[in-house]
Amino acid sequence: MAVLAPVVEVRAPGLLVTRYEWPHLLLPEVQGEVLLRCRAESAKGAVGLVFVLAERIHEVPAAVRPFWRRMVEHPDLRIGAMAIVTSSWSVEVEAMAFSVTNTMHGAGPPVAVFREEAEGVEWVRAVRQDRLTAEARAIG
């Protein structure tokens, strides 16, 4: 059976865990379910994204970084944090380059890389909670 899209799980309100089993699943054209769920969760507040990449994924296609740059700045998507779970050094470098690009543009969420899914989930929960608290203070 061919895997045609990443598997997206709403782990908790505002927390999406997406599993990528094959490199082609990172491509922008198959992110529909991730974006649909992110948009729905964004209506409730900041969203934390955890991307869990299978060990067989050793590089990120060139189209991925510019795609996610556009998404983190999209007004309908309130992405508050992004964690990438990978064992690949190359993927880690690409994620850090994405983080630096966000910083240079002065927009976009914090991005971090983890070896274990549980660590990424906990980090996203903490960062997302900090952002929700900051938003509440700004409103009140």
Torsion of CA 57, 59, 63, 68, to 10 degrees: 70
Structure tokens at 104: 């240079």
Torsion of CA 121, 125, 126, 130, to 10 degrees: 150
Residue 12 bridge partners (DSSP)? 15
What pLDDT, on the 0 to 100 scale, is given for residue 138? Answer: 82
Topology given in CATH for the domain delimited by 7-125? Transcription Regulator spoIIAA (3.30.750)
Domain boundaries in the chain?
Answer: 7-125
What DSSP element (H or E) covers 90? helix 89-105
- Mean pLDDT along residues 10-23: 96
Summarised one tens digit per residue, pLDDT across range 88-134 is 999 999 999 999 998 988 878 999 999 999 999 999 999 988 877 77
pTM of the complete model: 0.93
